Structure 1
Amino acid sequence: MEKLKNILPQKNSNWRVTAVFLIAIMIGLGLFMAKEAEVVSYMSDDPKACVNCHVMTPVYNSWMHSSHREWASCNDCHVPHNNIANKYYFKAKDGLFHASVFTLRAEPEVMFMREASQEVVQDNCIRCHVQQVTQTKYDGWIDTHSANRTERHCWECHREVPHGRIHGISTIKNNIAPIPTDSEETVIPEWLEQKINQDKQAPHEK
């Protein structure tokens, strides 16, 4: 009996050390992944957060060349605005879905909105353009005019707003750079930068 009492505390102690060690590993990996994925940036409304995922760069570039750039960010169109809780819940749900698809390299060449996203985008189109949608100027003498404005998706007609008509991630219009086109950083290869500096110094040396 004495031997059994001596063995049990030792086993219990070993179990605790193992559990603490495993929990510490999981927390450490979680924090590392959160930092690498720049999770905090997704809490903001900065469009550059979307291009943390390089697959979204063509879509970002097409938005940069659109009229919406001056008026609407990604979140203005793609997340709900009825209340803040729903906004961040939708961002988290949609973001985790996108992250899992991109991590598995299962992204399609042409991306289409899922039903939930279509509903959100349609609501946001109406939220910003409510005057155009609800005007009654032509109602009464143009058949189905009211229904066409309220019962169809806006992009059935406005096909090029804001990402262009061609939606393939490798063929999208205005995809002129492998990084966001408004980046303040100058992307110059090291060898070319050295050559430029040499050319700048050459006239002074002569």
Structure 2
Amino acid sequence: MKWLSWVKESLTLKGKIIIAVLLLVIIIGGGVVAFKFYDFTQNNPKFCISCHLMKPAYDAWKKSEHTGINCHECHHLTIPEQNRLLITFVLRRPKSVPPRHGKVIVPWKYCIECHWEKDKKYPDAKKINDSRMHAKHYFMEKIECSKCHGYEVHKFTPEERFCLRCHQGKEVHGVGMEGLACLNCHTDRTVDLRPGRKKCLFCHGTEAVRKELIADDTIDVQFFQPDKAMIKKAVKINVPKDAPMQFFCYKCHKPHAKIMPIYGTCLNCHPRILNVGRHKMHIQTMGLECKTCHLPHSWRVTKEQAKTTCTQCHEYRDLLTFIGPQG
């Protein structure tokens, strides 16, 4: 090559050294610039807002729980996908982010990297490896994380009634419960996610019960606690530890269907009760409701109660005569 021969013959040693140093500086400088450019495009969320479409998403990210997490830790694009986005942006100049058309933007496998076992980089990330709610919705129902978390750009905590998008017809009809979030009642403590008795007592019980539930730190109490006004308004109940029928509240109360239990509700579990003692006379003939004698949540008719309740209609009689032989 002529220019190489010219360098060897015409330049002094000093000139050759200067050229070598300049070339070395250019190579090193170019490498540094290339690395910084790569680092900026791959690890700096501000690169994303170089596209005008991403400004709303960037602002939402800044306010979200994921602020401080690099975009590419969640959004993984192949080289063809990156080039396709670039070409689309340059040639078509879209004015808004195109719809997903069912595409999962962030697959669950990336979410699980931080939200499963303890993650060294993000130790405060919420763990779901012992969450029944996530076990049912993802592992059993195969619902992607972004179906509930991220249905709006960078909004990760579902809104209060978001569940109704899939569970249609499950609006709450209970008086005073209309404004509750789904997870104010449904809990991560039970296998079927229905409210356990203590979850109902979060509003309808004592402060001691609330403290006990909060100490469990399950997802439903971490993010969806009823406000103080709702708790104060709720009717407080007492369930004696020795009361019969220690079952879940929803066996009688159906907040998605009707407001209060009725006579027919009792017959679901006690279909033959009318044939026992004087129940038929009291219920069908006199028109009394079950709860007139069987006080809700304690259920057992005591001698002290009978002396007050029964004597409103007749003189006091031994309780055994109610269920004994009819004379």
Tell whether the structures are fold-level matches, with TM greater than 0.5. Answer: no
State the TM-score, normalizing by the size of structure 1: 0.43
Larger Rg: 2
Q: Which has the higher contact order (CA 8 A, sep 6+)?
A: 1
Q: TM-score, normalised by structure 2?
A: 0.28
Bigger helix fraction: 1
